[in-house]
């Protein structure tokens, strides 16, 4: 009678360097997590781009409002002389 080989026996050859597929999967997942963290640190944030565009739009709107004429007439900014009562 022939004995079946078991995975725990030394004669059993595993696919890659005597490691199981679960161990290989853990290494692959860890590599992807490391790459994702690396890219998040290096590449600019899309939220930063959005906030920068929003601030630029607000600045342009403010400049346009300051450049527009005031409908009530001429306005001077300064210190007026004191009036006596």
pLDDT, averaged in runs of 10, over the chain (85 residues): 57 64 90 95 86 94 83 68 72
Q: What is the pLDDT of residue 56?
A: 95
C-alpha–C-alpha distance, residues 60 and 68, integer Å = 12
pLDDT in tens, 54-74: 999 999 999 988 887 766 666
Q: Return the structure tokens found at 79.
A: 């210190």
Q: What is the pLDDT of residue 21?
A: 78
C-alpha–C-alpha distance, residues 16 and 24, integer Å = 9
- Which pTM was predicted? 0.42
């Amino acid at each position: 009678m022939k004995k079946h080989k078991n995975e725990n026996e030394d004669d059993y050859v595993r696919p890659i360097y005597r490691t199981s597929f679960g161990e290989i999967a853990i290494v692959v997942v860890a590599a992807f997590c490391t790459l994702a963290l690396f890219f998040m640190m290096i590449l600019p944030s899309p939220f930063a781009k959005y906030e920068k565009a929003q601030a630029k739009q607000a600045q342009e709107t403010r400049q346009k409002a300051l450049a527009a004429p005031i409908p009530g007439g001429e306005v001077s900014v300064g210190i007026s002389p004191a009036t006596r009562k």
